[in-house]
Amino acid sequence: MTVNPFNPSDTTDSVCCQPTAKEYTFDSVFRAICYSAALAIIVLLIYIVLEIGIKAVPSFQEFGFGFITGTTWDAVAQEFGVLPEIWGTLYSALLALVLGGVLGVSIAIFLTQDFIPAKIAVVFRTMVELLAAIPSVVYGLWGIYVLIPLLRPMSVWLNEHFGYIPFFGTELNGPGMAPAALVLAIMILPTVAAISVDALRRIPYKLREAVYGMGTTRWEAILKVILPTASSGILAALVLAFGRALGETMALAMLIGNSNQINLSLFAPANTLASLLASSFPEADNMEVQALMYAAMVLLAITFLVNVLGYRIQQFTMRKFEGKP
Amino acid sequence: MNTATITRESKTQSNTSALWAETISNANENVIDCAVDEIYYGNFLAVRNSHVPIKKGGITGFIGPSGCGKSTVLRCLNRMNDLIPGFQIKGKVTYHGSDIYAKGVDPVLVRRYIGMVFQQPNPFSMSIFDNVAFGLRLNHFKGDIAERVQLALERAALWTEVKDKLQNSGLSLSGGQQQRLCIARAIATEPDVLLMDEPCSALDPIATRQVEELMLELKKNYTVALVTHNMQQATRVADYTAFFGVDISQNGRTGRLVEMGLTEQIFNNPQQDLTKQYVAGEFS
Amino acid sequence: MTNISVPKNAPQLQKQWFERRALFNTVLTGLVWFAALLGSIPLLSVIFMLVMEGGSRLGWETLTALPPAGFDQGGGFGNAILGTLTMVAIASAISIPLGLLAAIFIGVLYPHSTTASAARFVAKTLTGFPSILAGVFTYAVLVVTTGYSALAGGIALAVLMLPTVVLAAEEALRQVPKKMSDAAYGMGCTRSQVILKIVLPTALPGVMTGILLAIAGAAGESAPLLFTALFSNYYISDLMEPTASLSILIYNFSAMPFENQIQLAWTASLTLVLIVLVFNILARLIGQPKI
């Protein structure tokens, strides 16, 4: 019990009083609850990894690392391998990153470097935010009924004339890598744009004054000074976007074709780890479920690796361009 | 009547004006007796050997150059420094005879009885009424809250300006008004002692004037300890003045009490050389 | 009147459009404009399709009727709307209190402790979490024992909402100026009183924004519901039964070869986008700080 050194009679007219026992107890209890909540968050991640991991163990014992190099997914023959899915995941995410990243950073530059008056910039910003708000399934629906019909004639033309280039090796007969990667790019564009805008905005005005004061053109300033200064933020945006692309499920499940093959062609159907889980889980029997859990662990591992890699790259650019230790 | 508590061997208490000796011998008039031996922030010795009694019913001003520890000592009086990590105090701060840094004393309790006004006006983001009533509600005041709020605002010289807009947000007031609101908030619960840490430094001259006049009024009902970087303010307002200096002798800037006494004596007849230089404006 | 004679080698101050630097500038500016317009096309196309294809069926009938079977005409997705709202409500009931309390700990109470750093790291890691894995996790934990249910769907959504709530709330709490909490301490508040009476109310607009954005995201999710809540053609009657949701309905109907179902998929998409938009707009409006 806390000591009250004050004699109440010394402060007669005063309203002051000591905190009640109830207030002290509430304080301790409340702080304990907050601590438990923070612990719960940490425990949650551990629990998730453990839960999926444990359920994946039987499959890991059965297939070992051959799982990662195997190329068939046959529930009947009990043969499981996810190499095509890993390929599809990385290929689609990479394509999306290139397209979405370039577009996103360009839009960020467009919005922050005085290319348009502020009022119009607000319109574009709103549009970017709207893009982010549209749910994944809706993009999938749009992809099926708008994008694929649009791409098909293009794919035929490209295949006819440039079929020797592996990227155009096949025609688009329905779902495939191209529409999936395009939709994925559209979905990660807002992330890249929003975080890059933040990074560019954070550049102090003094720096821009200094650069323009030297007589650079707008683009010289942007390319030589402003972008490098914002590079760690922009890189963070790209890494985050890549991570999101890796984990995206629904739009890809609807657009990528769910075909377990490895093909460089942009127009061939493919599969990703996430879409594999989405399409196979509902009908899976016990054996297949375990294999799917293994696949889930692979996806987790890839996502985690990308996060760590991204963090390292960020550290590096921060050191190089911003002089932070 | 314990003269021993004050005239113990503190290395800094060196002024010997008879008037001062007589005043401090009325030790039961000391609301707070702050006897600091050492204050550390981590490994940094911030203040040493400062014994500052705060007399009841008067304004005690702390003056000195920046970095001399006056704010640090002030914040010791209500244990606000506890919020700063690495803070450590060696010494005793007695409030009505009990050491507030003794084991088992809860700082929350101390701060209920000792109010504080900060350098930057910091009203809560609620209505003016709720701001002033905050302390009353916190202390489970069962009487007429509106009456007390009005009294506090009147004493803070803010009532006439805000009486028609008590429901407006406290943040909608001007800087000077916000500071007076913070004063009203602090005095609403009628604390024993009011600590004021450079309350006018963020205000324009007119608002400063108003707050200084306010302090002279507050003196009638409250005991005030005031830190100010403006020594003219001390001459205008403080009854007793404590002058702090900076000691760079031991690698680092350690603050310490140089001299303390009645304001007229410190400014017209300072005993220490350092004090003489400071009040002559040779450094600030 | 003095005649200022221009020295022979005075620099040309007028920009020549064909100069390399100027040309470079123009080309890149053109590219950036192109990028901006290119980025707008999908959005406009999606909005166009939603309104054209989905708008025609939007009405009270569609919003309350049950989904049609194979060759049926008419029908609607009333149960899906209710299912989505129910599961989002469950998810909110779990993630908001938990997230807020955790945010208070890592943002205000002990922000520099190892627990806080760990929790912050976990939250950041979980934001990029593949949404299907939330479904897989909930399947492994709940569905294997209690079967497909709305509750499982809600829990999976909660796992996805949690990181957003924690990080947004922490950011909002840290924005509260230190001098305000100093004032509260100065008045003799206990730590929980400082937080509950001053810091949290002041940070509330920012916290609400984060919560509303998390809700908007959860409403649009489909992957986690695939094998937790499954689907149902009836209105929800029991939290432990599978239930319909707008996102799963769209997913299911999009693959059906029936004109009726495909049209309904568009209308459901329009409805879902409108719901998500409402929450986004609310988040924007509430985010206006108090004076």
pLDDT tens digit sequence for A83-139: 888 989 999 999 999 999 999 999 999 888 888 888 888 888 888 889 999 999 999
A173-193: buried (b, 16+ CB within 10 Å) or exposed (e) per residue?
A: eebbbbbbbbbbbbbbbbbbb
> Can you give the pLDDT at residue A1?
40
Question: Which residues of chain C register pLDDT less than 70?
Answer: 1-8, 10, 12-18, 288-291
- Tokens standing for residue C62: 């569609």
The SS3 assignment for B282 reads coil
> Within 13 Å and on the Cβ side, how many CA atoms surround A2?
19
- Tokens standing for residue C147: 């079967």
Res. A257: pLDDT tops 90: no
Neighbours of A51 (CB within 10 A): 17
By Cβ distance, the residue of C36, C106, C227 closest to A110 is C36
The residue assigned the tokens 């095509």 is A84
- Tokens standing for residue C78: 């009333």
Residue in B with minimal Cα distance to C201:
B125
The whole-angstrom separation of Cα B179 and Cα B206 is 13
- Residues sharing a CB contact under 8 Å with residue A23, sequence separation 6 or more, in sequence order: C190, C193
Contact C75, C63 (CB under 8 A): no
Which residues in chain C have Cβ-Cβ distances shorter than 8 Å to A51?
137, 140-141
The reply to whether residue C187 touches residue B112, judged by beta carbons under 8 angstroms, is yes
Amino acid at C140: A
Q: Tell how strand B223-227 and strand B240-247 pair up.
A: unpaired
The reply to whether residue A15 touches residue B141, judged by beta carbons under 8 angstroms, is yes
The reply to whether residue B148 touches residue A15, judged by beta carbons under 8 angstroms, is yes
A223 DSSP assignment: I
Res. B72: pLDDT tops 70: yes
By Cβ distance, the residue of B104, B113, B190 closest to A13 is B190
The whole-angstrom separation of Cα B46 and Cα B73 is 10
> Can you give the pLDDT at residue B272?
87
- Test mutation, C20, C254, C264, C279, chain A, max A CBs within 10 A: C254
Comparing A58-67, A237-246, B156-165, B253-262, the range with the smallest average pLDDT is A58-67
Which of A12-16, B221-225, C202-206 tops mean pLDDT? C202-206
B189 contacts chain A (CB < 8 A): yes
Q: How far is CA A268 from the centre of its chain?
A: 24
- Residues sharing a CB contact under 8 Å with residue C130, sequence separation 6 or more, in sequence order: A246, A247, A248, A249, A274, A299, A300, A303, C223
> Can you give the pLDDT at residue B14?
39
- What is the side-by-side order of every strand in the sheet holding B87-95? B98-99, B87-95, B30-41, B44-55, B254-262, B240-247, B59-63, B223-227, B193-197, B114-117
The reply to whether residue A19 touches residue B95, judged by beta carbons under 8 angstroms, is no
By Cβ distance, the residue of A35, A136, A243 closest to C222 is A136
pLDDT digits (tens, 9 = 90+) for C42-57: 999 999 999 999 888 8
Which residues in chain A have Cβ-Cβ distances shorter than 8 Å to B104?
2-3
The whole-angstrom separation of Cα B264 and Cα B262 is 6
Contact A188, A129 (CB under 8 A): no
The whole-angstrom separation of Cα C186 and Cα A10 is 21
Question: What confidence tier does A322 reach under pLDDT thresholds 50, 70, 90?
Answer: low
Distance from CA of A206 to the nearest CA of C (A): 23
Give, to the nearest 10 degrees, the angle between helix B175-187 and helix B205-218. Answer: 20
By Cβ distance, the residue of B96, B99, B190 closest to A15 is B190
The whole-angstrom separation of Cα A37 and Cα A25 is 18
> Can you give the pLDDT at residue A67?
81
Contacts B–C by Cβ distance under 8 A: 63
> Can you give the pLDDT at residue A9?
43
Which residues in chain C have Cβ-Cβ distances shorter than 8 Å to A38?
101-102, 105-106, 115-116, 119
> Can you give the pLDDT at residue B15?
41
Contacts A–C by Cβ distance under 8 A: 239
Which residues in chain A have Cβ-Cβ distances shorter than 8 Å to B112?
16-19
B273 contacts chain A (CB < 8 A): no
Contact C32, A103 (CB under 8 A): no
B234 contacts chain A (CB < 8 A): no
- Test mutation, A22, A59, A129, A141, chain C, max C CBs within 10 A: A141
> What is the pLDDT averaged over residues A220-240?
86
Residue in A with minimal Cα distance to C246:
A137
C226-246: buried (b, 16+ CB within 10 Å) or exposed (e) per residue?
A: bbbbbbbeeebeeeebbbbbb
Which residues in chain A have Cβ-Cβ distances shorter than 8 Å to C164?
none
Mean pLDDT of chain B: 85
By Cβ distance, the residue of C32, C99, C254 closest to A144 is C254
**3-class SS string, chain C:** CCCCCCCCCCCCCCCCCCCHHHHHHHHHHHHHHHHHHHHHHHHHHHHHHHHHHHHCCCCHHHHHCCCCCCCCCCCCCHHHHHHHHHHHHHHHHHHHHHHHHHHHHHHHHCCCCHHHHHHHHHHHHHHCCCHHHHHHHHHHHHHHHHCCCHHHHHHHHHHHHHHHHHHHHHHHHHHCCHHHHHHHHHCCCCHHHHHHHHHHHHHHHHHHHHHHHHHHHHHHCCHHHCCCCCCCCCCCCCCCCCCCCHHHHHHHHHCCCCHHHHHHHHHHHHHHHHHHHHHHHHHHHHCCCCC
Distance from CA of B279 to the nearest CA of C (A): 32
The reply to whether residue A189 touches residue C39, judged by beta carbons under 8 angstroms, is yes
The whole-angstrom separation of Cα B254 and Cα B47 is 5
> Can you give the pLDDT at residue C288?
64
> Can you give the pLDDT at residue B5?
34
By Cβ distance, the residue of A2, A15, A18 closest to B189 is A15
Q: What are the residues facing B93 on neighbouring strands?
A: B34
By Cβ distance, the residue of A19, A42, A136 closest to C122 is A42
> Can you give the pLDDT at residue A164?
77
With CA atoms as reference, report the closest residue to A251 among C254, C18, C68.
C254
- Tokens standing for residue B78: 């209500």
By Cβ distance, the residue of A10, A19, A20 closest to B96 is A10
A72 contacts chain B (CB < 8 A): no
Instruction: Please state, in angstroms and as integers, the Cα–Cα distance from residue B199 to each residue in B52, B210, B241, C94, following that order.
Output: 20, 12, 16, 45
The reply to whether residue A5 touches residue B100, judged by beta carbons under 8 angstroms, is yes
Q: Where are the alpha helices (DSSP H) in chain A?
A: 21-63, 66-69, 83-112, 118-133, 136-142, 148-162, 177-201, 205-213, 218-221, 227-229, 231-247, 250-255, 273-280, 286-322
> Can you give the pLDDT at residue B183?
93
Q: What is the dihedral of CA C105, C106, C110, C114, to 10 degrees?
A: 120
The SS3 assignment for A150 reads helix
Instruction: Please state, in angstroms and as integers, the Cα–Cα distance from residue A259 to each residue in A155, A177, A270, A298, following that order.
Output: 18, 10, 5, 19
Distance from CA of C239 to the nearest CA of A (A): 20
Distance from CA of C195 to the nearest CA of B (A): 12
Which residues in chain B have Cβ-Cβ distances shorter than 8 Å to C290?
125, 169, 171
Instruction: Please state, in angstroms and as integers, the Cα–Cα distance from residue C168 to each residue in A128, A198, A199, C209, C284, following that order.
Output: 20, 16, 18, 8, 14
- Tokens standing for residue B244: 């702090």
Max distance between CA atoms of chain C, in angstroms, equals 100
Give, to the nearest 10 degrees, the angle between helix C200-220 and helix C150-175. Answer: 140
The whole-angstrom separation of Cα B7 and Cα A31 is 44
- Residues sharing a CB contact under 8 Å with residue A135, sequence separation 6 or more, in sequence order: C219, C220, C221, C222, C247, C269, C272, C273, C276
Which residues in chain C have Cβ-Cβ distances shorter than 8 Å to B122?
177, 179-180, 182-183
Contact B34, B72 (CB under 8 A): no
- Residues sharing a CB contact under 8 Å with residue A37, sequence separation 6 or more, in sequence order: C98, C99, C101, C102, C104, C105
Distance from CA of C104 to the nearest CA of B (A): 17
- Tokens standing for residue C170: 């922490």
> Within 13 Å and on the Cβ side, how many CA atoms surround B100?
28
Res. A50: pLDDT tops 90: yes
> Can you give the pLDDT at residue B11?
31
Which residues in chain B have Cβ-Cβ distances shorter than 8 Å to C202?
124-125
The whole-angstrom separation of Cα C113 and Cα C106 is 8
By Cβ distance, the residue of C35, C119, C137 closest to A48 is C137
Which residues in chain B have Cβ-Cβ distances shorter than 8 Å to C186?
78, 80, 111, 115-116, 118, 186
By Cβ distance, the residue of C43, C53, C109 closest to A130 is C43
The rounded percent of chain B whose pLDDT value lies above 70 is: 89
> Can you give the pLDDT at residue B10?
33
The whole-angstrom separation of Cα B117 and Cα B180 is 9
The whole-angstrom separation of Cα A314 and Cα A13 is 61
Distance from CA of B88 to the nearest CA of A (A): 20
C109 contacts chain B (CB < 8 A): no
Extended beta strands in B80-192, E state = 87-95, 98-99, 114-117
Write the ipTM.
Answer: 0.88
By Cβ distance, the residue of B80, B120, B185 closest to C185 is B80
> Can you give the pLDDT at residue B27?
47
A256 DSSP assignment: S
The SS3 assignment for A293 reads helix
Which residues in chain B have Cβ-Cβ distances shorter than 8 Å to C189?
108, 138
Backbone angles phi, psi at A229, to 5 degrees: -65, -40
- By CB atoms closer than 10 A (0-12, 13-18, 19+), residue B11 is exposed
Contact B109, B64 (CB under 8 A): no
DSSP per-residue letters across A10-33: GGTT----PPPHHHHHHHHHHHHH
Res. B7: pLDDT tops 60: no
Instruction: Please state, in angstroms and as integers, the Cα–Cα distance from residue A77 to each residue in A72, A73, C285, following that order.
Output: 10, 9, 56
C195 contacts chain B (CB < 8 A): no
With CA atoms as reference, report the closest residue to A259 among A104, A114, A79, A73.
A73
Contact B128, B173 (CB under 8 A): yes
pLDDT digits (tens, 9 = 90+) for A203-219: 888 888 888 888 888 88
Max distance between CA atoms of chain B, in angstroms, equals 57
Please indicate whether residue B173 or residue A261 has the higher confidence score (pLDDT): B173
Residue in C with minimal Cα distance to A141:
C254
pLDDT digits (tens, 9 = 90+) for A150-166: 988 888 888 888 777 77
Contact B125, B171 (CB under 8 A): yes
